[in-house]
Structure 1
Amino acid sequence: MKNQDAIIFGIYPIKEALSSNVIFDKVYVQKGISSDKIDSLVKDLENKNVPLSYVPMEKLNRLTRGNHQGIIAQTSPVTFQTLEEVVEKVLASPKTPLFLILDQISDVRNFGAILRTAECTGVDAVIIQKTGGAPVTGDTVKTSAGAIFKIPICKVDHIKDAIFYLQGSGITTIAATEKTSINIYKTDFTGPLGIVMGSEGKGVSNSVLNLVDGKASLPLLGEINSLNVSVACGAFLYEVVRQRTS
């Protein structure tokens, strides 16, 4: 977490930032800590739906050398948008919708690289979950080459709810997964589409795979059986571009 300007630590600074409507990406709270002031602040954060992560004190010590008092906030350089408003706007335009859903991508550089490719390929919005995914840090901004400020990012409580909403809006959802024999070159990407990319370690979760309309894989001809998620995402998105422009 090299972007020190994105960190606020200590009870009163975080409380002041919360009252000033600073956008929080995630707040780290020391495991087992309890006091009236901490408990009150945590309750206020929960009331504003700020994602909380309970971590050992050692992690907080690594994030800052200051007196963190058991709580550190990671602020966001971007404003997240509401999924419903973005979908409504996209459906009202003449462009064929293209959404990208990230199921627990955890590496900030992968996240940034994916945002860069998404912006270059005309993705209308990137959808992420409020908890469990990569925070928006200085590394994310740098790796995205500024794309993070040009493409809408929607945070949702649950990826599954976002998939249901897209499907109800007439958008087909397809998961990128090796758990299918159908590859991307035999998959129709020309209609309204939401592509789901999974986490670096586990891929798309089984609960999400059970909800999507289809699955597609990349042909792997070597001995290694997987690709970096940002590389795989690029291959999927540019196949969408190829089909829609050919």
Structure 2
Amino acid sequence: MKAAVIVFPGSNCDRDIAVALKQAGAQVTMVWHKDDALPDGVDLVAVPGGFSFGDYLRCGAIAAQSPIARALRFHAERGGYVLGICNGFQVLTELKLLPGALLRNAGLRYICRTVPLTVTNAGTAFTSGYAAGQTIALPIAHHDGNYFADDETLARLKGEGQVAFTYGDNPNGSRHDIAGIVSANGRVLGMMPHPERAADPAHGGTDGRALFAGLADALERV
């Protein structure tokens, strides 16, 4: 698996994702936001967590206008795989690669802790390392993680199996307890929790490791 990790000013989880992907056997290239093309032959593009451009205007809004964003959109539209975590999820909604929006947490406070999640769809490349209904624990670290979409969109996401993860104890007010969703073709995942921060025993938990290992295995079979 060849992966590219996009780096924006304010990204702070880019190296974490790169390490987790390398541990899963991926070849990883770091891509600066001012580049206008992705490396040849890339299977997966990862958009990391952090505070791109200081979260000015809206979280992810400026990053979605960066030179690399056009290449990212083209990669997704031609069927490439994309993983957006935390701020990366926000960027993907700004690019309209995923529906909905991430609003301020219902309690209007930054939240940083490990939370329980339920794997609601284990049939995607991203979730293939888990079992449907499995409970896992991953860290969250966000101020704007409150997932919002209108009723019609929520019904479609649920009906078409696009909800990948839900919170066991909703920390931020997300509608339907949504923690992560996939695109209609299953090749774009956006999630607020951080699997890359739970991919090594030194992190205090390894429940995120299966996401990267399962993804690598799934892409090897494509």
Task: Identify, as 1 or 2, the structure richer in helix.
Answer: 1
Fold conserved between structures, TM > 0.5: no
Task: Identify, as 1 or 2, the structure richer in strand.
Answer: 2
Name which one, 1 or 2, has greater alpha-carbon Rg: 1
